[in-house]
Amino acid sequence: MYELPCRKTVTKRIQQLYENEKEDKVNLLEKAECVALTADHWTSVSNSNYLGVTAHFIDIKWRLHSFALTIQKTTTRHFAENVAEDFESVAEAWEVTQKVTTIGTDSARTMTTAMRLLTFQHMPCVAHALQRTITVCLADSGFTGTLARCRKIVGNFKHSPSNTEELQKEQTEREQDKEPLIQDVSTRWNSTLFMISRLLKNQEAVKATLAKQKHKLTMLTTAEWDRLQRLETLLKPCRYVTELLGGEIYVSCSVVLPALHPLTRTVEVSDDDPAYVVRFKAAFKKDLSQRQDTLNHGWLRVATALDPRFKDLKCLPRGERGGVWTSVEELLQKEPDRATPEPTEEPARKRSLLLFNSDSESEDEEGPNGALGRYRAEPTISGTDCPLQLWSTHEGAHPQLSALARKYLGSPATSVPCERIFSLAGNIVQKKRAALSSENVNRLVCLSNWLKEKKENK
């Protein structure tokens, strides 16, 4: 009995809802002191190019916000000058030009060149750099042939329902979960790890199933299964770092250096490593080091120092820690004085000296007196605690430092938020909806992102 509204009515309602939600986002951005952006390009099924931009900031209540600003169609080629103009137009349209601190992008040459034409600081995507390192190392360390045979084995089951059914029977007999094998995709992060982990988990079931079939596959040898086991061990820490830095509902910028530091230790060569593992580790360490050189270390180090979890700076060489605190002191001198709010009931703050590793206690790292010295004297918090919660309760004690923390901790470590926007856009702009106008694409994608964020924050 229900009569569906006409197309014009649906379009009008979507437009009105978009305007209402956009007004709420504009009000949030007006109150924000600093705003970080992430940006990337995406090509739809209709071969149209879009620029996606997301905003990230910490509000006065120390809540981290992350939402889409736009996914607009671009008609020009990806020349650096055009990309820079697109960034500026988005910032001006949302009236945040004077508030933008960093713009996070991938390491594409066009993006990197475009950032040199802007006054905003560039935050290269750490996750992209790490995945590029993994791709290079897999190709140069002798795993290519083994992985190629793995893909053919997985494809034998993925493309045949009957083969999949036989595999499930073998899994049931071994009291394992009925789970399909995973095929890796070059553009999907960690998919190679997922493929080999699932194969190793179902190794016996796969062998038993293939033994009953007639096929032309080249089976993996015992040495190759062992090679996959070692590769899984090498890639698991990379997956952890990628997922850790790719979040957008928690502080990630200050986690980059503490996360990469132990990662480099996992690729130290040991006497028990076979030759192919030695090659992988050597290539990984060399390539990752080169890509780390392109990161915004100045911003990352200050962000780490302003995170109460990592302010001991143990992820840095001892000789570089003093320079970080000197940078923070210089930033404090540029920061305008802020009135201290009325004191509230607050437990007495512990003022104990930080404990550093090994001989770092003997170093000249006492730092400046005053607010910065008091902050450094306070104990670090647990790595599982939220730094924003601590800053919300200590803002009155450190008004200038808290302003710096709100600025530096609000920047995301990766451009993954844009990748998620594109995944959402891919679900909206499908083959049967490829004729959607760019305005409607922008409204639908942004609305989906905004309404989801509102639902999660309730």
| Whether the Cβ atoms of residue 345 and residue 400 lie closer than 8 Å to each other | no
SS3 338: coil
SS3 105: strand
* Cβ atoms within 10 Å, residue 309: 19
Range in 247-251, 290-294, 352-356, 446-450 the model is least confident about = 352-356
Phi-psi category of residue 41: left, alpha or beta, with phi > 0 → left and psi -120 to 50 → alpha: beta
Q: In what order do the strands lie in the sheet with 100-105?
A: 64-73, 49-58, 35-43, 100-105, 121-124
433 DSSP 8-state letter: G
What structural domains and CATH numbers belong to the chain? 7-125+415-457 (3.30.420), 130-281 (no CATH), 307-408 (no CATH)
**pLDDT higher than threshold 90 for residue 365:** no
Which residues, 6+ apart, have CB-to-CB distance to 399 below 8 Å? 338, 339, 340, 341
What pLDDT band is residue 138 in, cutting at 50, 70 and 90? confident
What pLDDT band is residue 236 in, cutting at 50, 70 and 90? very high
Measuring CA to CA, how many Å separate 46 from each of 77, 79, 296, 426?
A: 16, 21, 36, 11
Query: How much is the pLDDT for 367?
Result: 39
- pTM of the shown model: 0.85
Query: How much is the pLDDT for 44?
Result: 87
**pLDDT higher than threshold 60 for residue 266:** yes
Query: How much is the pLDDT for 272?
Result: 87
pLDDT in tens, 383-428: 889 999 999 998 988 899 999 999 999 999 999 998 889 888 988 9
For tokens 């001991």, what's the residue? 312
Query: How much is the pLDDT for 170?
Result: 93
Percent of the chain at pLDDT exceeding 90: 59
pLDDT in tens, 181-235: 999 988 788 999 999 999 999 999 999 999 988 888 888 899 999 999 999 999 9
How far is it, in rounded angstroms, from Cα 66 to Cα 248? 6
Measuring CA to CA, how many Å separate 12 from each of 5, 7, 18, 115, 440?
A: 11, 9, 10, 38, 11
Query: How much is the pLDDT for 353?
Result: 26
Q: What distance lies between CA 255 and its chain's CA centroid?
A: 11
Query: How much is the pLDDT for 219?
Result: 87
Whole-angstrom distance between the N-terminal and C-terminal Cα of the chain?
34
pLDDT in tens, 40-84: 988 888 888 899 999 999 999 999 999 999 999 887 666 888 888
Sign of the four-CA dihedral 285, 249, 424, 436? negative
SS3 47: coil
**pLDDT higher than threshold 70 for residue 2:** yes
For the CA atoms of 403, 409, 411, 414, the dihedral, rounded to the nearest 10 degrees, stands at 170
What pLDDT band is residue 4 in, cutting at 50, 70 and 90? confident
Percent of the chain at pLDDT exceeding 70: 91
pLDDT in tens, 341-357: 444 333 333 333 233 33
SS3 160: coil
Q: What value does the mean pLDDT of the chain take?
A: 87
Query: How much is the pLDDT for 338?
Result: 57
How far is it, in rounded angstroms, from Cα 306 to Cα 147? 43
Query: How much is the pLDDT for 78?
Result: 66
